Amino acid sequence: MNRNTLTAALLTAGLTLWAASRAQAQTEIEIVRDMVPGMTKPVPVALSGFTGEAKAVLEFDLFVQGFAFVPPEQAQFLISGSNNNNVQGRLTDRLNGTTLLSRNYSGASLRVQAHQFADEIVQAVHRIPGIGRTRIALKVDFGQTSEICVADFDGHNPRMVTKDDSLVAAPAWVPGRMALYYTSYKLNNPDILYHDLGTGNRTVFSRRPGLNTSAAVSPDGRQVAMILSENGRSPDLYVSNSDGTGLRRLTSTPTDESSPCWSPDGRWICFATRMGARRVLARVPASGGDMQRIATEGVMNPSEPDWSPDGKWIAFTAQMGGFNIAVVPAEGGRATILVAGEDPSWAPNSRTLVYTRRVGGQRILSLLDVPTKQTKDIPRISGNNSQPAWAR
């Protein structure tokens, strides 16, 4: 090849790569704008060859990440395989026959293998990580007392992490770490404790007079927002460093603030408050400043907000008669009610929510895929289940 041909080839290659990357960026933006909560059709798939627990895991995991199970002739993808000793499976595009995945798992357990396979299917089709190996923390209420529990996102392998015979509330994960903050009345006051789940060691993080509750850790793990009432006027929003130093008061209202959550870029804290007579969602710069209302048009009495990890949505409870799970664009606007329930927490995938559902006199947790509105209950753990927090 002579120099001119080589030059032409390299230039062409360079231009093609550059153009492809631009096109990809544009496609990603379009996909984002197209997500209308509750209006996305699930991806139709057909499962074959799986049985028992492996089948149950695949069906559960895929359903809450926006897949629906149909006869093969209606499916976009075929998921076939077996689980005799180990899970093996293939993901095939039914229309053009290409095999997108072919896997043969070993080790761990059948359940873990099935979760892994589901995750890889989600990655291949949705191009986002699956949630099959993620965890939640929750409050288990025994009537007179309550304890903190950690479980797989689907409610399996639950583990009580407190044994205090008192009351607890509002577990919150430290991002990326096996550690929780939660409210505990063990010391005869609602205090916020820090709990290292690996070692079991706990320390008192905030024990100011009055209320200490609703801890929320900043995305970089360096700060903790919380609701305190030591000012003696009303519960307000405060932030401190995660070592407890540097306490700053962010709101100073005569009404009660509650349920702070951080924007994923760490710049804002969103919370529930009141403006005039109306209950609203608001946000305040984490470094301090004026609070601004976040409009939630079309619904009333918003509370318990949670900001999606991709920054685009705020999920919250709208109380109108009963309790409803709603989402609103993070900058505020028209809210969409999705399902009856309360206290939502986003999965790392920014599409699945875990929330609490009141059924008769009991509380259970449930999962909701926001784009498709598909829901699935989590089997009840021991007592009433509420206040779930998804580890992110």
Residues 322-341 that bind other proteins (CB under 8 A): 323
The DSSP H or E segment spanning 114 is: helix 110-126
Instruction: Single out the residue of 24, 27, 74, 102 in contact with other proteins (rule: CB under 8 A).
Output: 102
Instruction: Single out the residue of 42, 225, 386, 389 in contact with other proteins (rule: CB under 8 A).
Output: 386
Facing residues of 304 across strands? Answer: none
Pattern 56-95, other proteins, x by CB under 8 A: ----------------------------------------
Burial of residue 240, with CB atoms counted within 10 A of its CB: 0-12 exposed, 13-18 middle, 19 or more buried? middle
Instruction: Tell me the C-alpha distance between 352 and 347, whole Å.
Output: 5
Residue closer to other proteins by CB (options 223, 386) is: 386
Give which of 341, 345, 333 is closest to 364, Cα–Cα.
341
Residue closer to other proteins by CB (options 304, 374) is: 304
Instruction: Using CB under 8 A, count the residues that bind other proteins.
Output: 89
Instruction: Tell me the C-alpha distance between 18 and 116, whole Å.
Output: 34
* 303 contributes a contact to other proteins by CB under 8 A: yes
Q: How far is the CB of 6 from other proteins (least distance, A)?
A: 7
Q: How far is the CB of 231 from other proteins (least distance, A)?
A: 5
Q: Does residue 55 come out as left (phi exceeding 0), alpha (psi in the -120 to 50 range) or beta? A: alpha
Count of CA atoms in the C-beta half-sphere (13 A) of 300: 6
Instruction: Single out the residue of 83, 251, 317, 385 in contact with other proteins (rule: CB under 8 A).
Output: 317
Instruction: Single out the residue of 2, 26, 84, 203 in contact with other proteins (rule: CB under 8 A).
Output: 203
Instruction: Single out the residue of 69, 256, 310, 311 in contact with other proteins (rule: CB under 8 A).
Output: 256
User: 115 with 65: CB under 8 angstroms?
Assistant: no
Q: How far is the CB of 88 from other proteins (least distance, A)?
A: 9
* 197 contributes a contact to other proteins by CB under 8 A: yes
Q: Are strands 168-173 and 362-369 parallel, antiparallel or unpaired?
A: unpaired
Instruction: Single out the residue of 2, 5, 26, 198 in contact with other proteins (rule: CB under 8 A).
Output: 198
